[in-house]
Amino acid sequence: RGLQKQSPDSFIRDTDSIQGALETALRTVIPKSLIVPSLCLSSRTDAGVHALGNTAHVELENKYNTVYNSSNVKKYVNRYFSKCGHTIRLLECIPVTQDFHVRIACKSRTYLYRFMIPKICGEQRISLPETIHTYHFRSYNFDIDRARRGIQLFMGTKDFTTFSAKATTNRKIQYVRALQAFTLEEAQPLMPFDPLSKNFIYFHFICKARSFLYNQIRRMIGALIALGMGKITEKDITVMLQVPSHHNWNPRITPVPPNGLHLLNVEYDLDELRRCTILSEEEQEETPQLEELQWEEQKQGLQLKE
């Protein structure tokens, strides 16, 4: 049911969401945490959206007042996921100080959107992994060059009100965002040895920014696909950007479905992350030696340049 937990009560176990499953898995870590695990997420994904790399922070405290071993946390959490059959894995665990915030410290987020076009009009036979991870674009009438040109309309700092869903709360939302990168490239099938994979041409959009509005990516890509199909013009997109309003959405555009969307990565400033990382005693002893070796390498490099 998506990433975010449905119940705000930390004592109710909600294993149907990724956040709920992670919090339940963290309860199995030994020594037991005196604080009920409550994740703060860096990027929220809706039901149907995939994540190859997401981040979160959580506060854990044990009766020994010691820092948790990262390897042990990963071991307990992933063991729980394997036993329960969850397709979730904890890839890395870093002990950080209280002043690190996983969402505020985020430098950028990168998303990928996969879609495929049939080589023969009306082709319905699809490889099973593609039905889960790729949008089946049923029309073969698609001008990729036209869609690529349309990407430039979104670049830079823009007001994306028209390309976001209406807010459901009274919280004030900043609709001005800046895209750092946006590309459209030809892609490969997920299962190239499956005979059904040969029936389609595959593409993916890659979009990068510090943050995105709710449904922004799916609406932008829906507009570009409509542009490539000839349903709208570049002027139509320009008008939606220049006159930002939830009432200015072009009805000839359909937001793309969530199954093709993948959160690829959440990037942080490495210097800031190092500053907030809590090192073990062994790592603290190794750090001065490592810095000395790096300095020696730099000196040798300078000598070689001279």
> Is 46 in the active site?
yes
Report whether 175 belongs to an annotated binding site. no
Burial of 71 (0-12, 13-18, 19+ CB in 10 A): exposed
What does the alpha-carbon distance between residue 221 and residue 114 come to, in Å, rounded to a whole number? 10
Decide if 258 contacts 46 (C-beta within 8 A). Answer: yes
What does the alpha-carbon distance between residue 197 and residue 201 come to, in Å, rounded to a whole number? 9
**9, 14, 16, 46: which is the annotated catalytic residue?**
46
Which has the closest alpha carbon to 204: 134, 157, 125, 102?
A: 134
Terminal CA-CA length for the chain: 60
**Distances, alpha carbon 167 to alpha carbons 171, 173, 218, 239, 288, in Å:** 8, 8, 16, 22, 50
What does the alpha-carbon distance between residue 50 and residue 57 come to, in Å, rounded to a whole number? 19
Q: Is cis: bond before 31, omega within 30 of 0?
A: yes
What does the alpha-carbon distance between residue 154 and residue 158 come to, in Å, rounded to a whole number? 7
State whether residue 107 is helix, strand or coil.
strand
Q: Between vectors from CA 202 to CA 191 and to CA 217, what angle results, nearest 5°?
A: 115
Catalytic residues: 46
Residue numbers in the known binding site are 111
Q: Which residue ranges make up the annotated binding site for substrate?
A: 111
